[in-house]
Amino acid sequence: MIAPNGSQTWHVKYNYTDANNDFGGRVVCKGSYIYVVGASYSTQYDMVLIKYDMSGNVVWTYRVPNFWGGANAVPLNMVIDNSGNAYIAGTVQGGSTGLDMSIVRINSDGTIQWGLTFDYGLDDYATSVALGSGDNLYITGGSADMGSFGASTDMEYTTIAVSKSSGTLLHTAHQNTAATSIDMAIGVKADAN
């Protein structure tokens, strides 16, 4: 952690195994805690969420191996609500469905509440997540579109709405700006929550 004057107050390191790669993807400070989400390799990349107190002590670590039957879960963004629930958006290798959007909710005690993967057809990428009003959670990114010859010809914006409490898919929206273009949303912002 870096103090306002620029000096380092503490430093921690996560190392799942000595021989493999771990990397952080997003850091969020909320209340008296710091949340770090990233990926860690054992036999595949697994999503890892670590909750620290302001002194750098680990409160808990949650590792999601074999994300719902998929492989190589790579979290790209995270948001924390006022109750300390973490909503993590990313991409998971879904086997026969290619890459899929993924969203997971982990409560303030480090227990997984629900997880959802979304497949639009080919490869799908979640890049951003935002809390909406009421029970709404919005995840955006992009999805590869199937061309007329059975191959991916472009990417289109993809946004999904999910229930924060249950993880139920509420709505999907896709937008393609032009044929054979690469469209990927990199951020989403919802009205006041």
Ordered structural domains, the chain, with CATH: 22-175 (2.130.10.10)
pLDDT digits over 118-153, tens only? 877 778 778 888 899 888 998 888 777 655 444 555
DSSP state of 2: B
- Chain centroid to CA 50: 14
pLDDT digits over 34-79, tens only? 999 988 877 778 888 999 999 999 999 988 765 555 577 778 889 9
pLDDT digits over 86-103, tens only? 999 888 886 677 778 888
**DSSP letters of 4-62?**
TTS-B-------S-TTS-EEEEEEEEETTEEEEEEEEESSSEEEEEEEEETTS-EEEEE
Whether the CB-CB separation of 45 and 55 falls below 8 Å is answered with: no
Whether the CB-CB separation of 76 and 25 falls below 8 Å is answered with: yes
- 32, HSE (Cβ side, Cα atoms, 13 Å): 5
**DSSP letters of 150-188?**
SSEEEEEEEEEEEETTT--EEEEEEE--STT-B------
Whether the CB-CB separation of 87 and 164 falls below 8 Å is answered with: yes
